[in-house]
Amino acid sequence: MNLASRIESAGEPERINISETTYHHVKAHFNCTHRGKILAKGKGEVEMYFVEGIKESRPASLLQL
């Protein structure tokens, strides 16, 4: 299994689950909640976050994504 599959398996219904690497790319644009670590075969423990929503201060053009 690859990391994306492990992340998907560790998620919760109706929630967006992202890795710490992805979090660092999107944290300026989205509110996220740290949810702890998951064990990913071949990767060790991976910090995970839930995306809670877009930040209010983003330009209107980003809201259309």
Instruction: Tell me the pLDDT tens digit for each residue of 25-57.
Output: 999 999 999 999 988 877 889 999 999 999 986
Q: Where are the beta strands (DSSP E) in 2-42?
A: 16-19, 30-40
38 C-beta neighbours (distance < 10 Å), count: 18
Q: Is the pLDDT of residue 65 over 60?
A: no
Confidence of residue 6 (pLDDT cuts 50, 70, 90): confident
CB contact set of 14 (below 8 Å; sequence gap of 6+): none
Q: Contact at 8 Å (CB) between 16 and 51?
A: yes
Q: What is the pTM of this model?
A: 0.74
User: How far is 5 from 28, CA to CA, in rounded Å?
Assistant: 25
